[in-house]
Amino acid sequence: MFMLDKIKDIKSRKEVMDTILVGGASLVGSVFSYLLQFVLGRKLSVEDYGTFNTLLSLASLVGVFAGVFGTSLIKIMSEIHARKEQRKLESLLLKSINFSLTIGGVFFIIILFLRSYISSYINIGDSFLIILFGSSVALAFLMTIPIAYLQGTQQFMKFSILNIVNMFNRFILATVFVFMGLGLRGVYGAAPLSSIISFCIGFFMLGLVLKDRVEVDVSKEFKKIFSFGASVILVNFSMMALNNIDLIIVKRYFSPVEAGYYAGTMTLGKILLFGAGAVSIVMFPKITALYANGEYFMGRLKKLLLLLLAVLLTGVFCYQVFPGIITNLFFGKAFENSVKYLPLFSVFVAFYVLINFLVLFFLAVDRNKVGFLLLPGVVVQYILLNIFHETLWDVIKINILVSIFTLLLLSIYFYFTVPNRLRRKDLKNFKEATGMLKMLD
């Protein structure tokens, strides 16, 4: 009876259920993601595997703009959804598709012209690989739209299914092309194709009836997207840099084999811990909606933060106790040299997930200048990695040092801004309510 009551209690907490749903989907999606890593880790040479993950890190940095666009869409769509303006949501969705195709084309042309410089800078001899890479970056804008719509409207079931479908498409197409003998070109040729297929499936899942759609002016909403996006571009760039610049530096200064081992460590370190990002995915639209309606949100924030900490502690514990098992499970003996780095690297990833959670919270409550608190960490990380990189241990330790420094800055900012602001707001609401009672008397 006690267990049944406990299960019913968990089901009654929507935040926990949404987190479990998104977290479960993230785990399933991660299975496909890391099955691809498993295939590539065994079918590609260590050098080519390092190149693959270096380009992934570069895609994350270049894809900052797509990330900004997606985050802005989620923010504005969450606010519109809170006001129950469905027609405006639909109009914003369609205009966003047109915008994403245009801006994606611009990015592809830029990468096309810079392909020789990019391939030279990160020691990649195949410039055509950079062209395929550019097409996948360009289509990243398009794929953000159905995901942003489902997350912003808190349709976490469909959101979860779409994420699984997207990761499955990437896995199956890339795997087929690799087994056809196309190598890295096959992997990056599959990426844009899978994005197009996933977008079409995602758009169908939205369930929109556009035949009798009434056009609604969303120019103000688009201005908000650009305004919000301009204010958070530094946030997205800094977050991507904190998480990816280390591999680019390693690829530049270390041997291709060592870069491959570090890429293996980086990949393995995110298997369990990035599943904790599900908490942040659920938190962002919920806090945004509460804040937009002027409702109290600190209680919900605390519950989600405690849930995140529990997941992170469990994940880090697993990496401390079972690093060899995790490595052999995914990559086999080819990446045994990555095992020794995994426990320490998992600590860095845990700090990074916490930083991401706090940053998304600040954006949800319109603290858009939080990027200026991330920038010092990025600068320090870049300088230190370029000076101290004798071993891979140095790289990981610098990452941890920078993440602790950044988390401390964010915690201080939270302490001196958010709680005080809430107290002032609560006092104002109390005074307004008291004034209304006096008028009624």
d(CA 17, CA 282): 10
Split at pLDDT 50, 70, 90, the class of 409 is very high
Split at pLDDT 50, 70, 90, the class of 400 is very high
Model pLDDT, residue 221:
79
Look at 439 and 391; give whichever has higher pLDDT: 391
Q: Is the pLDDT of residue 112 over 70?
A: yes
Q: Is the pLDDT of residue 432 over 60?
A: no
Q: What is the residue whose two structure tokens read 């997930």?
A: 353
Split at pLDDT 50, 70, 90, the class of 441 is very low
> Using N-to-C axis directions, what is the helix angle for 127-138 and 183-205, rounded to 10°?
10
Q: Is the pLDDT of residue 56 over 80?
A: no
Split at pLDDT 50, 70, 90, the class of 329 is low
Q: What is the DSSP string of 244-263?
A: HHHHHHHHHHS-HHHHHHHH
What is the arithmetic mean of pLDDT over 71-90?
81
Between 91-95, 224-228, 271-275, 321-325, the lowest mean confidence (pLDDT) is in 271-275
- Helices vs. strands in the chain: H and E counts, helices first: 18, 0
Q: Looking at beta carbons, which pairs linking 251-257 to residues 24 or more positions away fall under 8 Å?
A: 251/50, 251/51, 251/54, 251/122, 251/123, 252/121, 252/122, 252/123, 253/389, 254/389, 254/392, 256/46, 256/47, 256/50, 256/51, 256/123, 257/46, 257/47, 257/50
Look at 41 and 283; give whichever has higher pLDDT: 283
Model pLDDT, residue 14:
63
Model pLDDT, residue 402:
92
What is the arithmetic mean of pLDDT over 215-232?
76
Closest CA to 143 of 179, 192, 180, 183: 192
| Cα end-to-end distance, the chain, whole Å | 51
Model pLDDT, residue 405:
93
pTM: 0.65
For the chain, give every domain's residue range.
Answer: 9-440
Model pLDDT, residue 415:
84
Split at pLDDT 50, 70, 90, the class of 10 is very low
Model pLDDT, residue 334:
60
**142 and 100 Cβ atoms separated by less than 8 Å:** yes
Split at pLDDT 50, 70, 90, the class of 16 is low
Q: What is the residue whose two structure tokens read 């995602």?
A: 202
Size of the chain in residues: 441
Main-chain phi, psi angles of 88, to 5 degrees:
-70, -35
Q: Is the pLDDT of residue 119 over 80?
A: no
Q: Is the pLDDT of residue 30 over 60?
A: yes
What is the arithmetic mean of pLDDT over 216-229?
78
Structure tokens at 158: 């469909």
Give residue-wise pLDDT tens across range 286-316: 787 777 777 778 888 888 888 888 888 888 8
